[in-house]
């Protein structure tokens, strides 16, 4: 399988006990929607300085607010949850490449 660019990072947030949530830049928003939610993927991160790291990630969904606080509107966006405690930070502009489907022993239980 050829590697495929999943997204370029727009932002990242550490979720204590879960991992690192990364959101795509606007031009990458559709690349994750082809996967089912909670699909586990093997990914390669290519940092802006050229350094690379491998990790496991899952496809998740996040709701975002648009519009004014007095008349909020919301939309759902697919994001990646990196399941690695070794990766502390993912800077803006980092590319995340799909390296294949990860083995999920609990997939049959869902």
Q: What CATH number is given to the structural domain containing 43?
A: 2.40.30
pLDDT digits (tens, 9 = 90+) for 37-85: 999 999 999 999 999 999 999 999 988 777 777 777 877 889 999 987 7
How many whole angstroms separate alpha carbon 83 and alpha carbon 58? Answer: 8
pTM for this predicted structure: 0.81
Residue 20 has pLDDT above 60, yes or no: yes
Within-domain flag for 109? no
Q: How many domains does the chain have?
A: 1
Considering only CA atoms, which of 18, 32, 47 is closest in space to residue 80? Answer: 32
Task: Give the domain range for residue 78.
Answer: 4-104
How many whole angstroms separate alpha carbon 85 and alpha carbon 96? Answer: 17
Within-domain flag for 110? no
In DSSP terms, 42 is beta-bridged to: 56, 100
How many whole angstroms separate alpha carbon 74 and alpha carbon 101? Answer: 30
Within-domain flag for 96? yes
Structure tokens at 108: 């049959």
Considering only CA atoms, which of 83, 104, 80 is closest in space to residue 94? Answer: 80
């Amino acid at each position: 399988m050829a590697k495929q660019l999943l997204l370029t990072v727009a932002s990242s947030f550490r979720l204590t006990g879960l991992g690192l949530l990364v959101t795509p830049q606007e031009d990458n928003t559709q690349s994750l929607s082809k996967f089912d939610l909670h699909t586990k993927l093997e990914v390669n991160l290519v940092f802006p300085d050229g350094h690379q790291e491998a990790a496991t990630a899952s496809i998740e969904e996040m709701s975002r607010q648009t519009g004014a606080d007095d008349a909020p509107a919301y939309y759902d966006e697919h994001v990646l949850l990196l399941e690695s405690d070794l990766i502390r930070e993912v800077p803006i502009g980092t590319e995340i490449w799909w390296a294949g489907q990860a083995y999920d022993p609990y997939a049959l239980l869902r």
